[in-house]
A = this chain, B = another copy of it.
């Protein structure tokens, strides 16, 4: 039976094809820039002018003509420019032959200059006597003695020592080299992070249009479940999947709507499905394994559901199903039936449902996120499906990942000690310690 299940890669591909057909969200709102982090951009961001708008010095130093600097003669200090100043309003308005201007990081490079040499590399003089020839050794430069002379108000001349050469363009970012006025800088559908907010600010966007968060209905089923506030009998458990899925939905960019828990019976399940028809996505947790009291499939069938996939060869999470329910006067409602064990629910949500939540919110590029880390101890599993096992990664410069011992996909205590899922092969071979393995990021 397991061999007839869809492979993970095929399920992921099916999912991406589905996501490719999702229409961008129609509904959006305008928010102050500082409130847009993590939201999905509903408009393009264009450069309002060339970036940078002027040739920008990347260093504190001296703007010059590179050919002049490479004579290693003292050059006349003819101007000084700070960030924010207009070079054309200073002195002659340009760096002449045989001249330098002192320039600060971020300042516009004046006309005439084609290079900036760094203040740390300069030598200074108050007059051209008694020592007009280039320094014969660079000890003074290295110890910083020459550098301190800049603070002497008598300084009138600056040179680049023979140990250094200048090239045209040194320490200058040309105007428009980062972006041209009108260029698309951040496309619609981007999940906004600090970098996008920074460039939006740079381009003058005090407000940004962002898409509405998709409404994700969460339906948990099971006769054994009681609410978190209740005291369960010895054979009942509290409903942990609803708050867990709500947190995962919010992290994926959705607005969770927790529906009342439904017992394992036909009519309440039918009613709950009808209640969920207003949402943009439905997550059903539990009730989809093979036993006769798994009623979710029946309820979905009665609601006219069709399926993109039913079951994927992964562990945990094998019974996961993805389909859609027809609606009157509305597009079909996408629905995930997630296995009821909490780790199975979490893994299948991250792998399959999170990208759909993101896409319904206008972010078409979001997929399950993997990175790599080195396995700390050898592992061998029985031949079977690809595994997603609770694990702890130290996320250091040489990231190491350790599997967390667990009692199966109901073991929330093990899940709470993990910070990722290690992706382990189903080939039955040993994975030696030190092997770089994929990890599913969950944070």
A248–B37 CA distance with the chains assembled, in angstroms: 9
Distance in angstroms from A181 CB to nearest chain B CB is 12
Task: Tell whether, in the assembled complex, residue B195 and residue A416 are in contact, meaning their CB atoms are under 8 Å apart.
Answer: yes
Does A150 have its Cβ within 8 Å of any Cβ on chain B?
yes
- Whether A195 contacts B412 by the Cβ 8 Å rule is yes
A372 x B370 contact (CB < 8 A): no
Q: Residue A430 at the B interface, CB < 8 A?
A: no
Q: Report whether A82 and B264 are in contact in the complex, using a CB–CB cutoff of 8 Å.
A: yes
Find out whether the CB atom of A119 lies under 8 angstroms from the CB atom of B237. no
Kindly name the residue among A37, A104, A177, A442 whose own CB sees the greatest number of chain B CB atoms within 10 A.
Answer: A104
Given contacts A144-B1, A173-B410, A233-B86, A415 and B198 within 8 Å (CB-CB): yes
Nearest B residue to A196 via CB reads: B416
Pick the contact of A104: B241, B243, B293 (CB < 8 A).
B293
Neighbour of A290 across the interface among B120, B222, B224, CB < 8 A: B120
- Contact with A204, one of B228, B244, B340, B439 (Cβ below 8 angstroms): B228
Residue of B nearest to A186 (CB): B416
The listed residue with most B CB atoms (<10 A of its CB), out of A239, A367, A443, is A443
- The answer to whether A292 touches B411, judged by C-beta atoms less than 8 angstroms apart, is no
A433 to chain B, nearest CB (A): 16
Q: How far is the CB of A396 from chain B (nearest CB, A)?
A: 6
The reply to whether B198 and A240 contact each other, CB–CB distance below 8 Å, is yes
A429 beta carbon closer than 8 Å to chain B: no
Q: Does A267 contact B (CB under 8 A)?
A: no
Which B residues are in CB contact (< 8 Å) with A442? Answer: 193-194
Is the CB of A309 closer than 8 A to any CB of chain B? Answer: no
Partner of A239, one of B53, B201, B251, B443: B201
Which of B186, B201, B241, B243 is close to A240, meaning CB atoms less than 8 Å apart? B201
Asked whether, in the complex, the Cβ of A204 is within 8 Å of the Cβ of B238, the reply is: yes
CA distance A216 to B58 in the complex (A): 28
Interface CB pairs A-B, < 8 A, 12 = A58-B410, A59-B289, A60-B290, A105-B291, A186-B416, A195-B346, A195-B412, A198-B412, A202-B240, A202-B412, A204-B229, A367-B396
Which residue numbers of A lie inside 8 Å of B, CB to CB?
1, 33-34, 37, 47, 51-54, 56, 58-61, 82-87, 102, 104-108, 119-120, 144, 147, 150-151, 173, 177-179, 183, 185-186, 193-206, 222-225, 228-229, 231-248, 250-251, 256, 258, 264, 289-294, 340-342, 346, 367, 369-374, 393, 395-399, 407-416, 418-419, 423, 436, 438-439, 441-443
